[in-house]
Structure 1
Amino acid sequence: MESAHPFRHPSRPNAEAAISRIAPWRLLPPLLAAVLGLWGLERGGSMWRDESVTWQVAHRPLGAIGELLGRVDAVHGLHYALMHGVFQAWDGGLWALRLPSVAATALAAAGVAAVAHRLAGERAALLAGCVYAVLPPVQMYAQEGRSYALVAAAVAWATYLMLRERWPAYAAVLLLGCWLHEFAALALLAHAFTAWRTRGWRLSAAVVAVLLLPLGVVSARQAEQQLGWLGRPSWQDWVAYAVVGGAALLLARDAPRDLVRVALPLVLLPPGVLMVISLINPWYVDRYVLYALSGLALLAGVRLARARGGWPWLLAAALLVPFGIWSVWLRTPESRKDDVLAVAAAVRERARPGDAVVFMPARRREWLLSSPELYGELRDVALDRTPAASHSLQGTELPPDRIRAALLASPRVIALMDPVGQPLDPYPREVVKREELAARFDLCSMTGVRGARVAVYARPGGCG
């Protein structure tokens, strides 16, 4: 008989055997989330204005990004730095812009499954992770070049680390989520229901709060400029919160007590507290607390795993129909407020050499900033200092009298405007633009584009 070599290691299993031993609850939720994220990732070649901000800011030098953050958008600073690194490594257009969110959503689905496995077993883990992946709002922000999917992943894994009592890792991961968007700190309120008696959690929460304080101070100074566009929560917001909260309460019935203590506060507290605060300071947008849906997925997964009759599965199957329709719609340009690439295409079709361009209001300059080759061919007659030079998002504009003179010196003007029905800014610069175009120019054409209007004006007799 041949003797074994004393230094020979046992043969390692091949890759297929290794993969076959991976539990389905570990593999399928992130795989499903990744497939759904990659499906229709380009959204018909569209990009909306929030993503455009990410694109144009992340393409600035790091020093210029830092100067911007001292004035505005500090809350998104870490995400801009991350995306700057992505674009430096691979300037892959819409794919490079959105792939980090796809990966983060897959990571979040894995985190939800890990929490469910810890509290309710493998079957609940598989179902909870898959439920999270198919929720339409989760799919929406899996395909968006903003920070919200990354924040959700950080909160999901921080929740798991809390259950494992890995306090240094918990503090680091949750702090990462908070620096990606500071409203992730509201997850601490939910986690307190589970871990407030634990000394390690209290110390970790204090560390997170202290290390988040610099961002909080800076962003508080920027709040009026950053969030001034927000109104108080609408009745639709309250209805949506009531529906999600009511569903969570129903799903929590007869669920394991430890899981309810984790999941239910996560569903109810971050959005609820932010909405109440927004009655005084309007700060609420549902995507700011996207991570709360992980609690709903945990409760739904456990309910399906423990179902003894067919009705929970029938209800889940019935929901797949509207979810499917919603999912298809989310992958169209119409699912977002506007489409900066469609606006740029409409301008490109109508522009002539030497045309002036004017933005009404000035913040709509964002519609062309992500198409620098086109923007560079037009004369931005109201612009004083560029976004990069002014360390701002949309640049600064000339005084009203100089805007008037610049318009009158232009034989042909392309005006980019909000859709009909939007409130008109009362500021003197905006009033001058509207008055001069109406009084001194002929309207040659008006074209509606998703979330915008592209108008061509010419001096009298110049439309032909």
Structure 2
Amino acid sequence: MVIAAQLPPPREEFRPAVADASVRGRVLLWAAPFALALGAGGFGLTGPLLGRDELVTWDMAGRDTGRILATLRHVDAVHGTYYLLMHGWVQLFGDSVLSLRLPSLFGVAGAAAVVALIGNRLFGYRAGILAGFLFALVPAVSRYGQEARSYALVMPAVAVATLLLLRALDRPRGPWRWAAYALVLALTGLLHLIALSVVIAHLCLLAAHARRDRSLWWRAGLALAAVAATVAPLVLLGRSQAGRQLYWVPAPDGWALLSLAGEVFASAVGGGALIALALVARSERRAPLLLCGTWALLPPVVVWAASHGEVSYFRSVYVLFTLPAWALLAGAGLASASRSWKTAAALVATLAVLTLPDQRQMRQPFEHNAPVPLDYAAAAEVIERLHQPGDAVVYDRYDSWQLDGGVRYYLPRELKLRDVFLTRTPAEIDDLYAVQCSVPELCLRGERRIWLVTQGAEFPFNAIDPEQAGALQTGYRVSTSTPVTGMTVSLLERVGAAGGARQS
């Protein structure tokens, strides 16, 4: 009993440094970065046209739950959780560009707030709020906060899981804290499996603490086992689909790994500044630097190494969840390098100005389809303006993807065009790709006018499937062709139809 009485109480290394600060200070810690990220990402939110991947989100979210689940058995299972969430969202708020992108915007704003909270725990109040500001100003954060995909939600999920781990380490004997950590980490994996590579950083932190308390291993082990059991079916299903979905991703060389930072930050200036600040980060304890350093560096290396097998997973967007770690280190570096709030604020403002060109680039109309710009809205406007009752349409599906989805999204919903060569839609076959006529001649019904939408600027019959082109050319001639960015909208008129047809 005497010995027990002399033992010190559990050491809570990650208590918030602002625990005794005013209510205003505690709220400002997370609210200010949240507001900055919301404002930065919200500016120009609906400016860029929907990209191909966003059109997939729109398509999948518009299916009923049963169809979504059936599709996931065939393709894109790794994004299934996001599609189900977006299905519920669209049912409530509609499928406008604003509605589709708002969850991502709220995701990055939430991530900025959590980054500030983690920074406060690890490095102190000033470093925490600066980390939240720096994260909010990263051009890639705005870019993916304006895209209807899961990547903007993965960042706050990883950050919240990390925050919950720190809370569990405050009181490792609290089972509910470990349960909360396991729950959020499992959700992270269900949103994007590759994000679970952050567990490497978590294990490094646990190893540092387990020297004093070996019970951490079995407590954390139970939590991670629950996570593994939850995501195991998705791992197996995603692995079986990986070849079909990622066949186009090349195996990375050494230079790809070295140049990854520029792509992850979407800004050479912004990325360079944050990395430079991260290098001067200081802490009285080793654990914060260990956690953030391994979180920032190890997941990309692991993904790079895993991408030299049958399938490559090496895409910058897959490791965006490392941005909070870079912001945390940069916030700590800025707090230690600047002795006053005014100096720190001036440096943050300077960084914001220097990254303005990159922020502007993120909001260009065709940025979400870069490097191949496609003006779906302009193509839809041409058809809407010149449409006549009874018109049909043929979409280029020969060497392009989501051309039909993009134009259909921007056409008025009440404007219905028969898709001449379409036999079964993706939704009808629980897939992402349509089934077209095997014998195109049999699918023509003598329409007087057919719109032909193709990618590129070449002669429209040269841009589509040769058999479809042959079937059309036997009875139709090009009446007009209207080029729009990245696309050509042609009107075909039946030979001998009233009014005749003229070659354009």
TM-score range, shorter chain: 0.7 to 0.9
Partner of residue 278 from structure 2, selected from 251, 258, 261: 251
| Aligned 8 A contact 1:252 1:260 in 2 | no
- Mapped to 2, the partners of 1:160 and 1:425 lie a distance apart of 56
Q: Which residue identity does 1:353 align to in structure 2?
A: P
Residue of structure 1 in register with 2:18 after alignment: none
Q: Are the counterparts in 2 of residues 248 and 267 from structure 1 also a CA contact under 8 Å?
A: no
Cα distance, 1:86–1:254 mapped onto 2, change above 3 Å: closer
Aligned residues: 440
Summarize deviations over 1:437-456 as a string: whole Å, max 9, x none. Answer: 57875444444434433333
Amino acid at match of 2:364: T
| Aligned partner (choices 199, 203, 206) of residue 225 of structure 2 | 206
Alpha-carbon separation, structure 1, partners of 2:202 and 2:277? 21
* 3-state SS in 1 of match to 2:465: helix
Which residue is equivalent to 2:187? 176
Quote the offset at 1:231 in angstroms: 3.2
- Does 1:303 pair with 2:330? no
Distance 1:28 1:370 in 2: 36
| Residues 48 and 339, structure 1, Cα contact 8 Å, conserved in 2 | no
8 Å contact kept, 1:151–1:184: yes
| Aligned with residue 415 of structure 1, among 437, 452, 455 | 452
What is the aligned partner in structure 2 of residue 114 from structure 1?
Answer: 117
Secondary structure of 2:456's counterpart equals coil
Distance 1:242 1:28, change over 3 A: closer
Q: Which amino acid aligns with 1:131?
A: L
How big is the shift at 1:108? Answer: 0.6
Give the secondary structure class of the aligned counterpart of 1:115: helix
Matching of residues 14-413 of structure 1 within 5 Å = 20=24, 22-43=26-47, 46-91=49-94, 93-165=96-168, 166-196=177-207, 197=210, 198-199=216-217, 200-233=219-252, 237-241=256-260, 248=275, 251-256=278-283, 257-280=286-309, 281-308=311-338, 317-337=349-369, 338-361=374-397, 363-364=401-402, 365-371=404-410, 373=412, 377-399=416-438, 402-406=439-443, 409-413=446-450
Deviation for aligned residue 1:379: 1.8
What is the root-mean-square deviation of aligned Cα atoms in Å?
3.2
Unaligned runs of 5+ in 2: 1-21, 169-176, 211-215, 266-270
Q: Are 1:48 and 1:340, in contact at CA under 8 Å, matched by a contact in 2? A: no
Q: C-alpha distance in 2, partners of 1:236/1:417?
A: 36
Q: 1:231 to 1:457 in 2, by over 3 A?
A: farther
Q: Which shifted more, 94-103 or 108-117?
A: 94-103
In 2: Cα distance, 1:266 partner to 1:439 partner: 61
Q: Partner letter of residue 288 of structure 1?
A: Y
State how far apart, in whole Å, the 1-side matches of 2:252 and 2:397 are.
24
Q: Distance in 2 between matches of 1:345 and 1:19?
A: 53
The structural deviation recorded for 1:312 is: 8.3
- The C-alpha deviation readout for 1:290-310, integer Å capped at 9, x for no partner, is 111111111111111111489
Give the corresponding residue for 1:10: none
* Distance in 2 (alpha carbons) for counterparts of 1:420 and 1:277: 39
State the Cα deviation string for residues 51-97 of structure 1 (Å, max 9, x = none). 12212221222122222222222111111111111122222622221
> Cα distance, 1:131 vs. partner?
0.6
**Distance change (3 Å), C-alpha of 1:191 and 1:456:** farther
Deviations 1:101-130 (A, max 9, x none): 111111111111111111100000000011
Matched position secondary structure for 1:336: helix
Measured after TM superposition, the shift of residue 283 of structure 1 is 2.3
Indicate conservation of the 8 Å contact 2:33/2:129, yes or no: yes
- In structure 1, the gaps of 5 or more residues are 1-17
Distance 2:454 2:141 in 1: 31
Which deviates further from its counterpart, 210-219 or 408-417?
Answer: 408-417
Give the deviation of 1:236 after TM superposition.
8.0
The Cα shift of 1:150 comes to 0.9
Identity of aligned residues (%): 34
1:366 Cα offset (Å):
2.0
State the Cα distance separating 1:26 from its structure 2 match: 2.2
Specify the alignment match of 1:15 in structure 2.
none
Q: Deviations over 1:232-253 (max 9, x none)?
A: 4489854532557986477234
Q: Deviations along 1:317-338, whole A, 9 cap, x unmatched?
A: 5543341122233223132214
- Structure 1 residue 453 and structure 2 residue 488: aligned? yes
* Structure 1 SS opposite 2:31: helix
Could you tell me which amino acid in structure 2 is paired with residue 267 of structure 1? Answer: A
Contact 1:178/1:185, CA 8 A, preserved across alignment: yes
Taking the aligned partners of 2:256 and 2:472, their CA distance within structure 1 comes to 38
Distance in 2 (CA, whole Å) between partners of 1:207 and 1:248 is 35
CA contact (8 A) 1:344 1:374 kept: no
The answer to whether the 8 A contact 2:380-2:410 is kept is yes
Scaled by the length of structure 2, the TM-score of the pair is 0.78
Residues 7-49 of structure 1 show CA distances to partners (whole Å, capped at 9, x for unaligned) of xxxxxxxxxxx963544222211111112222222116x3222
For 1:266-307, what per-residue CA distance to the aligned partner results, in whole angstroms no more than 9, with x for missing partners? 222222322333343122222222111111111111111111
Cα deviation for residue 134 of structure 1 reads 0.9
Change (3 A) 1:456 1:250: same
Match of 2:173 in 1: none
